[in-house]
A and B are shown apart, each in its own frame.
Chain A
Amino acid sequence: MKKITIDPVTRIEGHAKISIYLNEDGKVSSTQFHVTQVRGFEKFVEGRPYYEMPAITARICGICPVSHLLASAKACDAIMAVKIPETAARLRELMHCGQFVQSHALSFFHLSSPDILLGMDYDPARRNLLGVLEKHPDVARDGIALRKFGQQVIEGLAKERIHPSWTVPGGVNAPLDGAVRDRILKELPNARDIARRTLAMFKGVLDQFKEEIASFGNAPTMYAGMVDAAGNLQIYDGRLRFRDAEGKILQDQVAAADYNKFIGEAVLPYSYLKAPYYKPAGYPDGTYRVGPLARLNVADRCGTPEADQELEEYRQRFGTVVTSSFLYHYARLIEIVYALERIGALLDDPAILSTHVRAHAGVNSLEGVGMAEAPRGVLIHHYKVDEKGAIRWANLIIATGHNNLAINRSIEQVSRRFVDGKKLKEGMLNRVSAVVRAYDPCLSCSTHAAGQPALDIRLFGHDGSELDRLSS
C-alpha cells in the first residue's frame, strides 16, 4: 500500500494533514484526515469560577471568539438559571450577525476565492488573496470591506473586535449607544451591495465547477442546525434539528440541555479531533454535517426576505437537500445576506437601545449547556459546577468536530476522483485541500492548538515508503 500525505493543509484555520493510501495499482484505497494539535481547555478550566468561562473559552479562537463567548455565556445563563433581558438577547444576536459577516467574508474571500476565481490549477505561489487582488481587484477589495464591516459591528457593540469582554453571564455589560447604531445603519447598505455583487459573481462562475460540485463530498450524510419554533434559520437562539439525506426531519426542537441524547462522540486513533455522530444511528453511520450548507438544508426558510429569495433560487438549482460540500460557499454567501438583513431589522427596533441588559444571579443549577450557531456550525458548551460555582467538568463540541466524519468522507471521495497514479500533481492535491477548505474548518477551535504552519499531503507506497510530499 502507498501513502500520500498533505501536510500542512493551507488556507484553513489551524493545522491539519491528510494521508492518502494507494493500492498496488496506484488507486486510492483509503484516506485519513488528521488534526495535529491538542489544547486541553476542557481540562485546565476545572476549578475556575464559572463566570470566567466566556473569557477563557473565547481564547480557543481568534476568528470566532464571539461564538465561543455566546455559547459560553448561554451555558452560564443556564447555571444561573436566569432569563436574560430581551434587549441583551438581541444585542448578543446582533454581535453574532457581525461575527457571521466577518467570518464568512474571511472564509470566502481570503481563503477560498483564490481557488474559485483563479482556478484550482493556478500557480500555487500566486493562488492567494494577493493573486486575487492582482487579477480581480474589485472582488478582493469587496472582501476586505465586507469583513471590516462585520468587525466594526462587533467593535461598535463590544468596544473590541477580538475577544471582547462585553458578553457576560446574564446578558451584556453595556447597552448600545445610539450613535453606534446610526453608524452601523449608515454603512449597512454598502455591505448589502457587496453581498449581492458577490452572490451574483459566484452564481456566474458556478458552471466552471460542475466537476467539483459533482464530486466534492456529496456523499449522503445527515444534517444538523438550529431553527426557531417556526423552522426558520436561527444563529443565536433556537433549538437543534436533524434532517437525514432525503430531507426527512429526524429530530426537531432539541433543547441545548438534551444534546447528549442525540450526539455521541467517538475517539479516532489518528487524530486529536473527536468525531461526533448522531446517536440513534450509531458510529460511524450517524455522520452528519453542520455549518452553512447544513443550516440551509435543515431550516425551512431563512426568515428574511432577500435571503429567502436567494434560498429559493439555490434550492431550484440544487434541490431542497443540497449535498455537495462545494456549495458550502454558496450557502455561506446566502447567510451573509441573511446576517446583514438581521442587523438591519434588529437595529431598526427602538427597543435595541434599552439600558436593561443584564440579569444577576448566583449558582442556581449545577449544570448548564449553551448552544449557538458558530459560522462553521453548531457550537455546544456544557459545564458542571459545584454549589460554590467552581467548574468541575466541561465538554465543548465545536462545529468542525461535528463535520469531522464528513470531512473524512469528502477527502476520500475527492481523492478517489482526482488523485491517481504514483506522481502527485499540484492541482489534484489542491482539490483535496479545497474540499477541506469548503467546510471552512477551524481546527484550532476543534481541538480546543499551538505552533506549526497549516496542511501537509503525503503519498505513501504500498510498502509504506513515502513517494511524494506536498506542503506549504
Chain B
Amino acid sequence: MPLHKVSIRIDGEYVEAREGQTILEVARAAGKYIPTLCYLAGVSPSGACRLCVVEVSGVGRLLPSCTTAVQDGMSVTTNSEKLARYRRMVLEFLLTERNHYCSVCVSNGHCELQSMAAKLGVTHVRYPYTYPALPVDVSHPRFVLDHNRCILCTRCVRVCDEVEGAHVWDIASRGIRSMLVSELNKPWGESKSCTSCGKCVQACPTGALAEKGWAVEEMTKSHENISRLAVKRGVRV
C-alpha cells in the first residue's frame, strides 16, 4: 500500500512528510532543532517532559511535537521567544521538583538535564524548590536508583518494556507524587523480572539510574546501542 504523503510548513518552509509521522520526526529530518528529554529513538514517544512543545497555527495551545502526528496543511513554528520561555520553565519545574545537586552527582558533566539547562539558558531557577525527602534504592547488586535525580521521563519504563521485554518499571501514583517503581513497588533488588541488562541505566538521561560503584562525574552513558537494537527489530527510528 503506498504511503500517503502530506505537505506541511515548518517555520515557513514547505516540507513533505509521510502520513503518521510525528512533527518531531519531520522537523528533525528537515534539519530543525527541537529540544527533547523524554524522547528516545527506538522506543515509543511518551510526551512526558513537554520540552519539545511547538506552536501549530490555529491551535490555541502548545503541542508536544514527539506525540503529535503531522496533518496535511499544518503550519508549525519550532522556535520562538514564547517557546523558549516555556521550555526554560519546563526545565525549571523539573529542577525544583526533585533534589538535583550536580556537584555530587555521578552523572555531573554527562547529564542530559544539566546540558539541556545550560543549552536553553536556564541560568537560575525562579520558583521555590520543593526539597522532597526521597529514598535511594541500592538493593540491586549492580545498579542504583536515586529518586532524587529522576525526572519521570519514562525512558527506562519504555526501553525495558519495548526493547528488553521485561517490563520491570512503571510509574506509580499521579502528579507530584508520581514515582518510578520496579515490579509492584518492590525493591529493585527483589525484582524477578529484571534481567540486569542495564538498558534502563543507559537510557536514563540523568544520574537517577546508575551503575554502582562509580564516583561523582564518572557515570557515562550511551543509548546508541538501544536505538540500533530497535532498528534491527524493525522499529523505524
* CB-CB contacts below 8 Å: B103-145 with A: 103-104, 106, 108, 135-136, 138-139, 141, 144
Distance in angstroms between the alpha carbons of A52 and B144 in the assembled complex: 12
User: Is residue A360 within 8 Å, beta carbon to beta carbon, of the partner chain?
Assistant: yes
Are B136's CB and A165's CB within 8 A?
no
The total number of A-B Cβ pairs within 8 Å is 48
Are A389's CB and B138's CB within 8 A?
yes
* Contact pick for A54, options B136, B214, B215, CB 8 Å: B215
User: Is residue A247 within 8 Å, beta carbon to beta carbon, of the partner chain?
Assistant: no
B206 to chain A, nearest CB (A): 15
> Which residues of A lie under 8 Å from residue B213 when comparing CB positions?
51, 169, 360, 362
Are B218's CB and A168's CB within 8 A?
yes
> Which residues of B lie under 8 Å from residue A389 when comparing CB positions?
138, 212
Question: Can you show 26 pairs from A to B with CB atoms below 8 A apart?
Answer: A48-B136, A49-B136, A49-B212, A51-B213, A51-B214, A51-B215, A52-B216, A54-B215, A55-B103, A55-B104, A59-B103, A59-B104, A165-B215, A165-B218, A168-B218, A169-B215, A173-B215, A173-B218, A360-B213, A362-B141, A362-B212, A388-B138, A388-B139, A389-B138, A389-B212, A390-B138
B161 to chain A, nearest CB (A): 26
Decide if the interface of chain B is mainly helix, strand, loop or mixed: loop
Decide if the interface of chain A is mainly helix, strand, loop or mixed: loop
> Which residues of A lie under 8 Å from residue B139 when comparing CB positions?
388
Closest to B144 in A: A49
Query: If the complex has contacts A168-B218, A388-B139, are A52 and B212 also in contact, measured as CB distance less than 8 A?
Result: no
User: Is residue B11 within 8 Å, beta carbon to beta carbon, of the partner chain?
Assistant: no
B220 to chain A, nearest CB (A): 12
* B interface size (C-beta, 8 A): 18
* CB-CB contacts below 8 Å: A27-50 with B: 47-49
Are A55's CB and B215's CB within 8 A?
yes
> Which residues of A lie under 8 Å from residue B212 when comparing CB positions?
49, 51, 362, 389
User: Is residue B189 within 8 Å, beta carbon to beta carbon, of the partner chain?
Assistant: yes
Known A168-B215, A362-B212; further 14 A-B contacts with Cβ < 8 A: A49-B136, A49-B144, A51-B213, A52-B104, A52-B106, A55-B215, A55-B216, A56-B104, A169-B215, A362-B213, A386-B138, A388-B138, A388-B139, A389-B138
User: Is residue A274 within 8 Å, beta carbon to beta carbon, of the partner chain?
Assistant: no
User: Is residue B183 within 8 Å, beta carbon to beta carbon, of the partner chain?
Assistant: no
Are A47's CB and B103's CB within 8 A?
no
> Which residues of B lie under 8 Å from residue A54 when comparing CB positions?
215-216
Distance in angstroms between the alpha carbons of A169 and B217 in the assembled complex: 13
Distance in angstroms between the alpha carbons of A59 and B218 in the assembled complex: 18
Query: If the complex has contacts A55-B216, A388-B189, are A49 and B138 also in contact, measured as CB distance less than 8 A?
Result: yes
* A interface size (C-beta, 8 A): 20
User: Is residue A163 within 8 Å, beta carbon to beta carbon, of the partner chain?
Assistant: yes
Distance in angstroms between the alpha carbons of A214 and B216 in the assembled complex: 48
* Contact pick for A165, options B141, B144, B189, B216, CB 8 Å: B216
Query: If the complex has contacts A59-B103, A163-B103, A388-B189, are A52 and B138 also in contact, measured as CB distance less than 8 A?
Result: no
B40 to chain A, nearest CB (A): 26
Closest to A163 in B: B103
Closest to A54 in B: B215
Closest to B106 in A: A52
> Which residues of B lie under 8 Å from residue A48 when comparing CB positions?
136
Distance in angstroms between the alpha carbons of A51 and B212 in the assembled complex: 8
> Which residues of A lie under 8 Å from residue B215 when comparing CB positions?
51-52, 54-55, 165, 168-169, 173
Are A47's CB and B216's CB within 8 A?
no
Distance in angstroms between the alpha carbons of A169 and B136 in the assembled complex: 19
Distance in angstroms between the alpha carbons of A163 and B103 in the assembled complex: 9
B218 to chain A, nearest CB (A): 7
> Which residues of B lie under 8 Å from residue A56 when comparing CB positions?
104
Distance in angstroms between the alpha carbons of A360 and B141 in the assembled complex: 14
* CB-CB contacts below 8 Å: A122-141 with B: none
* CB-CB contacts below 8 Å: A45-75 with B: 47-49, 51-52, 54-56, 59
A162 to chain B, nearest CB (A): 10
Closest to A167 in B: B215
